[in-house]
Amino acid sequence: MTPIPLDLGLLFAAVLFLLGALGVLVRRNIIFMLLSLEVMFNAAGLAFIVAGSRWGQPDGQVMFFFILTMAAAEVSVGLALVLRLRHLLGTLDVDAAATMRE
Amino acid sequence: MTVILYIAMGIALLTTVIALTRLNAIHALLYLITSLLAIAVVFFLLGAHFAAALEVIIYAGAIMVLFVFTVMMLNLGPPAIEQERRWFVPGMWAGPGIFLLMLLGEIIYLVYNLRGIETSGTGGSPSEVGVSLYTTYLLGIEISSMLLLAGVVGAYHLGRRAILPVAEEPTRPLLLTEGRKS
């Protein structure tokens, strides 16, 4: 649609990615960590889209599709693990999972 | 058009910050859905129409709904918010925040070299993406379908026991394989 500066798009993706990374590092609730992972996946896909738009090729969107697939598979297994963690330990604290192995 | 793009980018960044600083998980999810929709607008304006549709349908529609259902099943109450408030203190995020800001500075410096280059405004039409997916990237499609199948099987196996009542649980933690007995 509209041409935008390439550095602006990449910077936007980088800021989103770092926000997600900060969320993973800071939060102790496992649901928020998974959410932050989603933000990071999304930012990586955004960088691919911006790069694909630079050359007008569909490859960026194809890579976004693969990232989307991986995020969907990751989140389904991750949320099943969250339910299990809550079931076994009664908390969503990731530090509590350190004792899972006994 | 450019103004719409900047507004969408601002909304995306702002709602992501708000989402990741919420104490209540449902509030965070709603803000994140807003952020994903704003990013879909950015995709559309970049010319990636297929990716914009996928972002709305799969990210905001499927993945976030999965999160919402999980949070509903976990049945978190006010105690969880109290616990979050105790965890979310400035000492917790100051250190990582400073180092990530330094990384952001480096990225800004590196991206600055790209100044003056513009995107083309088109990222391939949906039909081009489809043709590329099913010719050049055919193997990737097969692999991602297997990944999704593994995700389905894994989620079913891991999540099955969690929704049953915990009447006769053994004292030690369950092994993952014990779900088959019931």
Q: Across the interface, do A15 and B174 touch by the CB < 8 Å criterion? A: no
| CB burial readout A24-56, b (16+ within 10 A) else e | bbbbbbbbbbbbbbbbbbbbbbbbbbbbbbbee
- Asked whether B166 and A83 are in contact (CB, 8 A), the reply is no
Question: B98 to chain A: nearest residue by CA?
Answer: A22
Q: Which residues are CB-neighbours of B157 under 8 A, at least 6 positions away?
A: A80, B176, B179
Interface predicted TM-score (ipTM) of this complex, two decimals: 0.91
Specify the DSSP class assigned to residue A48: H
Q: Between residues A59 and A2, which one has the greater pLDDT? A: A59
Question: B10 to chain A: nearest residue by CA?
Answer: A12
Q: What are phi and psi of A57, to 5 degrees?
A: -105, 150
Query: What mean pLDDT do residues B87-95 have?
Result: 80
Query: What mean pLDDT do residues A31-35 have?
Result: 92
| Residue B2: pLDDT band with limits 50, 70, 90 | confident
pLDDT digits (tens, 9 = 90+) for B132-172: 999 999 999 999 999 999 999 998 888 776 455 555 555 55
Query: What mean pLDDT do residues B87-109 have?
Result: 87
Query: What mean pLDDT do residues B36-44 have?
Result: 94
Closest-CA distance, A3 to chain B, in angstroms, reads 4
Measured between CB atoms, which of B58, B108, B159 is closest to A83? B159
- Chain A residues within 8 A of B127 when measuring between CB atoms: none
Largest distance between two CA atoms of chain B: 67
Query: What mean pLDDT do residues B87-101 have?
Result: 84
pLDDT digits (tens, 9 = 90+) for A66-102: 999 999 999 999 999 888 888 887 778 888 777 756 5
| A–B interface: beta-carbon pairs under 8 A | 256
Q: Between residues B97 and B170, which one has the greater pLDDT? A: B97
Tokens coding B164:
């049953």
Q: Which residues are CB-neighbours of A94 under 8 A, at least 6 positions away?
A: A28, A29, A30, A33
**What is the Cα–Cα distance from A53 to A49, expressed in whole angstroms?**
6
Question: Distances in Å between the alpha carbon of B32 and those of A14, A40, B127?
Answer: 17, 12, 30
Beta-carbon count within 10 A of B16 CB: 27
pLDDT digits (tens, 9 = 90+) for B51-71: 999 999 999 999 999 999 988
| Residue A13: pLDDT band with limits 50, 70, 90 | very high
Q: What is the pLDDT of residue B182?
A: 45
Measured between CB atoms, which of B5, B87, B140 is closest to A4? B5
- Chain A residues within 8 A of B46 when measuring between CB atoms: 1, 4, 9, 49-50, 53
3-class DSSP state for residue A102?
A: coil
- Asked whether A16 and B13 are in contact (CB, 8 A), the reply is yes
**What is the Cα–Cα distance from B55 to B43, expressed in whole angstroms?**
9
- Asked whether A31 and B86 are in contact (CB, 8 A), the reply is no
Q: Across the interface, do A56 and B114 touch by the CB < 8 Å criterion? A: no
Task: Name the burial class of residue B42, with classes exposed (0-12), middle (13-18) and buried (19+) by CB atoms within 10 angstroms of its CB.
Answer: buried
Closest-CA distance, B116 to chain A, in angstroms, reads 7
User: What predicted TM-score, i.e. pTM, was given to this entire model?
Assistant: 0.85
